[in-house]
Amino acid sequence: MDVGWFLAASALIFTLGAAGVLTRRSPLVILLCVELMLNAANLSLIAFARMHGNHDGQIFALIVMVVAACEVTVGLGVIVAMQRRRLPIDVDEMQELRG
Amino acid sequence: MNSIRLFAWLTLLFPLAGCIAIALVGRRLPARGAGWLGTGALALSFASAIGALLALLDQAHDERQIVAVAWDYAHSAGIDAQLSLLVDPLSVFMILVVSGVSMLIHLYSISYIASDAGYVRFFAYLNFFVFSMLLLVLAGNFIVLIIGWAFVGAASYMLISFWYRRGTATRAGIKAFVINVLGDVGLVLGTLFIFKHVGTLDFLGTFEAARTEFAPGDADLTAGLILVLVGAFAKSAQIPLHTWLPDAMEGPTPVSALIHAATMVTAGVYLIARMHPLFELAPAAADVGAIIGCLTLLVAGTIAIAVTDLKRVIAYSTMSQIGYMIMAVSAGAYVAGMFHLMTHAFFKALLFMAAGSVIAAMAGQQNLDRMGGFRKTMPFTFGCMVIGGLALAGIPPFSGFFSKDEILLLIGDRGGWYWILYVAGYVGAFLTGIYTFRMIFRAFFGEPVPEARELEGGHLHHAEVPTNPATGEVEDTDVGFPGPEHHIAEREPTMKIAMGLLALLAIGGGVLQIPRVTHVIDHFLEPTFHDSALYERHPSDGLITFGLLLGAAVGLAGIAVAYLIWVRRPQIAVAARARLAPLHKLFVNKWYFDELIDTLVVRPARWFGAWAQQTFERVFVNGMLVGGTSGVVRAGSSAVRAAQTGFLRYYALLIVAGLVVLTFYFLMNA
Amino acid sequence: MGAVLFFVAATGAVAGAIGVVVLRNPFYSVLALVGHLLSLAALFLLLHAEFVAVAQVIVYAGAVMVLYVFVVAYVGGQAEPLGPRAGHGLKAAAAVLGGMLFILLSIATLGSGLGFMDTRGAVVPPSFGSPTEIGALLLTKFVLPFEIAAFLLLIAAVAAVVLARRRGGLSAVEEQARYSAMDMLRPTYTGTMAEAVGDRRELPKSPPPEPDEDDRS
């Protein structure tokens, strides 16, 4: 199978993830969409690894997976803390950074 | 040769070292230690001045103008700026007078100002002043002269407003300083005019070059010299820049004695004498000097007859005598002018010291109307005052007689319209006799006032509540105001010694230059002035004798008039005041110069300042420049702030948008 | 055969992605992501990345998604309120930008560089993507990223504990009002705004407030 197809799929999934980040209001779902984007990048990496014939891409993809796991941990920890303090779980409510 | 330079530097540096030493350790010394330290520094300076004199006399007669250079400041833009001193007979003469009289005044001040909270500060300032004056006099080029000029003005300001919590004193200090600055501007501009043509700032170089550069009567030179004269008039309190001198009597009496009688006000005279080659090339400027000097001596004399503050009478007397000196050096009678400078320093300092003693007996009160009958209780002060008064009035054989006489003789000898100045000089001498002895008779003769009676009982009068003698404001005796104790000469040995020495000098100083008999000063100052066309003068014997007799006569006549009016028949004074009321009003109000300057200069300046603040500052600077720039910044920031909505998704959108733009850009370039 | 598998897996992945973005209930989104991950694992297998595929299933779909499920259960997966609050054009802008991004990425990857490359893929030995190979590389050429990734995991674990702890220990002190000995000696109401205004009253002595009862569950 042409590696190009995989890359196209990766691009599609990436954009879907980006659209999700921009559109959804629940931080949980936003994090899920970020996961989508990361996975799309992983797919690209694996595809290129296959194309070049060395393992660098695969190792990179593994590390990306580790990073994604850490990021999910911390992000969910933040959401749990928000829930504990009875803050609304809605990114539009958190406007403290407003200038 | 080198010992002269060494002595010159030492003369200059001892007072400076004294000032710094007093400033650093003065407070840790015992009670009057700072005073003795200051006097000691001055004594060393005087000794160095004598050393310089002796070393100079060792030189051959023609080689007596020596330049001592410390270092070069700059050689940029064609200006040769060096720290250089010119040691020649004129400057040695001046440093002897300055350091000698200053030393005696320091000695006097040790006791006079003893209980003041600012004792240490006083001596530090006084030493600094002497250093500045010596710097001015020893200057070898225009730059050092201007530096010394400025320092002297600063020292004068610091000392006039010495009692800085008194409003009258600080106002007087500011007035003196502002008028001084005006003079400074004149001096600097005049220097510029001269430098433009001559190309060097060094004195000897300038005088050399001036002979070739300037034709006699050159317009630029005249203009430059008139500007220099503005400086001289401001410093020497000549009309119309004289209004600061009477107000400067707010300072302590030793300050008045030193700065405003003996030394600083003579700086203008020194300046003209030093620049005599230039003045001889521009006779118009010299004539301006002579006329102003003459006017001043008359106007000041008339005012002195009418005012009632003891120190102000002496101040106007100073103004008048300086008028004589300026007239002399402008008319080419350089030696006579310098001789009168010297004798005037002696007897005027003596008069101020005696006046200080009387004022101390009056517990700070200076009004002649409230003084009287101190003759029996203060004999020493009385004696000194009389000696000083006789010298001032020009009675033979006192020193003032010979010096004033010499001036008028040489002015008469010049002939032409100078005869008017000659006559005016003798009228002034008559007035001098009157006001001097008016002062003495009113303070020492007549019924003893309460303070004198207290002193008879052996008790020095002290005011219960210290007040400002001029305005009656209540004060205290802490720092910034006069101290609680007053010291009179009869009780303080240092004051007696200082006054005694000056009295001796006032009596005997005249022997240095008796016409046709001794020519000590003439001979000594010749190397400086030998290039002057007006120097070699041989007045006729007849004129000499006539002048001597006339001088003695008018002086005695003045004293007689004063005796008649103020001792014998006081009602004459009252009647005269009633009949000549407008004239009296004119004199008492100092010929309305203060009001004139206020209308011509002060009010427009104040109006301009107010207008500038209202219109220019408020609208333009604050509104447009400051408000405008900050408004622009604020508008810009609020525009940028619109991008900070606080919404996470909006920020994420911006990230994606940025990513799109970047990818687009790289695609286009690929 | 490979093409068929590809299209099936790709469809699954894209469908999962769309599900994540579109579904209202967060729990359904999580499930959609799980499906997406499994499809992605299949795609990895097609690309000769066996180890990575297995790791994906075990770690990602197995552990991370389970974590997600727990959190969604705790937080409560209420359906998102409809209607965007953040600006009107946000949804439209998002759609437009997303489309542009896709087109650009496609052009970038497909159009520009791939012409130079042989996109059939290099000839690879059968052991390509096997754990042996991956392991060997992790311990030789990529040992540094490996170790740093371990550190990162440690930090994340600590962070999770810190974020999720109960309000006890240090924070209790912060919440308490700081009272010093001087406060006992000072009369009440000194140093307050009321005193500055000139209104000094005697308050009844009130005990210091107790620390907040923060978490009841």
> What is the pLDDT, as a whole number, of residue B345?
93
The rounded distance, in Å, linking the Cα atoms of B627 and B92 is 61
Burial class (CB in 10 A: 0-12, 13-18, 19+), C217: exposed
> What is the pLDDT, as a whole number, of residue C176?
53
% of chain B exceeding 70 in pLDDT: 98
Residues 49-88 of A with CB under 8 A from C: 49-53, 55, 58-59, 61-63, 65-74, 76-81, 83-84
> What is the pLDDT, as a whole number, of residue A69?
93
The rounded distance, in Å, linking the Cα atoms of B544 and B74 is 51
Q: Is A32 near chain C, with CB under 8 Å?
A: yes
Residues in chain A: 99
Residues belonging to chain B with any Cβ–Cβ distance to chain A shorter than 8 Å: 641-649, 652-653, 656
Tell me, what DSSP letter sits at residue B74? E
Least confident of B98-107, B365-374, B447-456, C93-102: C93-102
What is the identity of the amino acid at B588?
V
> What is the pLDDT, as a whole number, of residue C217?
40
The rounded distance, in Å, linking the Cα atoms of B296 and B663 is 91
Tens of pLDDT, residue by residue over B24-64, are 998 888 888 888 999 999 999 999 999 999 988 888 777 67
> What is the pLDDT, as a whole number, of residue B569?
79
CA C91 centroid distance within chain: 22
The rounded distance, in Å, linking the Cα atoms of B248 and B163 is 12
Tens of pLDDT, residue by residue over C57-110, are 999 999 999 999 999 988 876 666 555 555 556 667 777 777 787 777 777 766
Closest CA to B125 of B244, B38, B42: B38
Query: A92 vs B649: CB contact, 8 Å cut-off?
Result: yes
Closest residue of chain B to A22, computed from CA coordinates: B649
Distance from CA of A84 to the nearest CA of B (A): 21
Tell me, what DSSP letter sits at residue A99? -
What are the beta bridge partners of residue B81? B74
Chain C residues with CB inside 8 Å of A67's CB? 149, 152
Tell me, what DSSP letter sits at residue C88? T
Residue C215, pLDDT above cutoff 50: no
pLDDT band at C42 (very low <50, low <70, confident <90, very high): very high
Paired tokens of B419:
């005869």
Query: B657 vs C104: CB contact, 8 Å cut-off?
Result: no
pTM: 0.69
The rounded distance, in Å, linking the Cα atoms of A34 and B605 is 74
CB-CB neighbours of B157 under 10 Å: 23
What values do phi and psi take at B647, rounded to 5? -90, 130
The rounded distance, in Å, linking the Cα atoms of B128 and B136 is 12
Tens of pLDDT, residue by residue over A25-67, are 888 999 999 999 999 999 999 999 988 888 999 999 999 999 9
The rounded distance, in Å, linking the Cα atoms of C190 and C201 is 10
The rounded distance, in Å, linking the Cα atoms of B665 and A41 is 21
Residue B188, pLDDT above cutoff 70: yes
Q: Is A90 near chain B, with CB under 8 Å?
A: no
Tens of pLDDT, residue by residue over C2-26, are 788 898 999 999 999 999 998 888 8
Q: What is the mean pLDDT of residues B74-98?
A: 82
Closest CA to B534 of B330, B333, B297, B291: B333
3-state secondary structure of B73: strand
Chain B residues with CB inside 8 Å of C94's CB? 649, 653
Tens of pLDDT, residue by residue over B490-538, are 888 888 999 999 999 888 888 877 777 777 887 888 888 877 777 777 7
Residue C216, pLDDT above cutoff 60: no
Closest residue of chain C to A30, computed from CA coordinates: C21
Paired tokens of C89:
């054009």
Closest residue of chain C to B655, computed from CA coordinates: C97
pLDDT band at C200 (very low <50, low <70, confident <90, very high): low
Least confident of B470-474, B546-550, C115-119: C115-119
Distance from CA of C206 to the nearest CA of A (A): 27
Give the torsion through C-alpha atoms of B358, B363, B365, B369, to 10 deg.
-60
Left if phi > 0, otherwise alpha if psi is -120 to 50, otherwise beta: which for C103? Answer: alpha
Residue C45, pLDDT above cutoff 50: yes
Closest residue of chain A to C121, computed from CA coordinates: A51
Query: C71 vs A11: CB contact, 8 Å cut-off?
Result: no
Chain B residues with CB inside 8 Å of C112's CB? 667, 670
The rounded distance, in Å, linking the Cα atoms of C208 and B460 is 72
Tens of pLDDT, residue by residue over A69-99, are 999 999 998 888 888 888 878 887 777 777 6
DSSP of B182-213, one letter per residue? HHHHHHHHHHHHHHHHH---BHHHHHHHHHHH
Give the torsion through C-alpha atoms of B183, B189, B192, B196, to 10 deg.
-140
Residue C167, pLDDT above cutoff 80: no
Q: What is the mean pLDDT of residues B183-201?
A: 90
Query: C97 vs B656: CB contact, 8 Å cut-off?
Result: yes
DSSP of B358-419, one letter per residue? HHHHTTT--BGGG----TTT-HHHHHHHHHHHHHHHT-TTSHHHHHHHHHHHHHHHH-TTHH
Q: B285-306 burial, b if ≥16 CB within 10 A, otherwise e?
A: bbebbbbbbbbbbbbbbbbbbb
Paired tokens of B109:
């001040």
What are the beta bridge partners of residue C33? none
Identify which of C3, C117, C137 has the shortest CB distance to residue A51. C117
Identify which of B653, B659, B664 has the shortest CB distance to residue C93. B653
CB contact set of B401 (below 8 Å; sequence gap of 6+): B391, B394, B395, B510, B551, B552, B555
Query: B656 vs C98: CB contact, 8 Å cut-off?
Result: yes
R_g (Cα) of chain B, nearest Å: 30
The rounded distance, in Å, linking the Cα atoms of B300 and B127 is 30
Closest CA to B85 of B136, B138, B7, B143: B138
The rounded distance, in Å, linking the Cα atoms of A90 and B650 is 14
DSSP of B34-72, one letter per residue? HHHHHHHHHHHHHHHHHHHHHHHHHS-TT---EEEEEEE
What are the beta bridge partners of residue B72? B82
How far is CA B484 from each of CA B113, B196, B432, B553, C14, rounded to the nearest angstrom?
A: 10, 55, 35, 45, 102
Q: What is the mean pLDDT of residues C198-211?
A: 56
Chain A residues with CB inside 8 Å of C120's CB? 2-3
Q: What is the mean pLDDT of residues C132-151?
A: 92
User: Which is higher by pLDDT, B481 or A71?
Assistant: A71
Residue B542, pLDDT above cutoff 80: yes
Chains that touch C (3 or more CB pairs under 8 A): A, B
User: Mean pLDDT score of chain B, rounded to an integer?
Assistant: 87
Q: What is the mean pLDDT of residues B622-650?
A: 82
3-state secondary structure of B586: helix
Q: C63-81 burial, b if ≥16 CB within 10 A, otherwise e?
A: ebbeebeebbeebebeebe
The rounded distance, in Å, linking the Cα atoms of B263 and B135 is 12
Chain B residues with CB inside 8 Å of C97's CB? 653, 656-657, 660
Residue C204, pLDDT above cutoff 70: no
Closest residue of chain A to C107, computed from CA coordinates: A8
Query: C94 vs A23: CB contact, 8 Å cut-off?
Result: yes
Contact present, A63 and C145 (Cβ < 8 Å): yes
Paired tokens of B327:
């007239």
Q: According to DSSP H, which parts of chain C are helical?
A: 2-22, 26-46, 50-55, 65-75, 90-106, 131-139, 143-164, 170-175, 181-185, 193-197
CA C112 centroid distance within chain: 33
> What is the pLDDT, as a whole number, of residue A99?
64
CB contact set of B460 (below 8 Å; sequence gap of 6+): B360, B361, B363, B454, B486, B488, B491
Paired tokens of C132:
């042996």
DSSP of B123-176, one letter per residue? HHHHHHHHHHHHHHHHB-BHHHHHHHHHHHHHHHHHHHTSSTT-HHHHHHHHHH
Handedness of CA B154, B157, B160, B165 (dihedral sign): negative
Contact present, B47 and B165 (Cβ < 8 Å): no
Tens of pLDDT, residue by residue over B93-142, are 999 999 999 999 999 999 998 888 889 999 999 999 999 999 999 998 89
Paired tokens of B460:
């020095």
Tell me, what DSSP letter sits at residue B288? H
Q: Is A92 near chain C, with CB under 8 Å?
A: yes
Closest residue of chain A to C141, computed from CA coordinates: A56
H or E element, residue C122? none
Q: Is C117 near chain A, with CB under 8 Å?
A: yes
Residue C174, pLDDT above cutoff 70: no
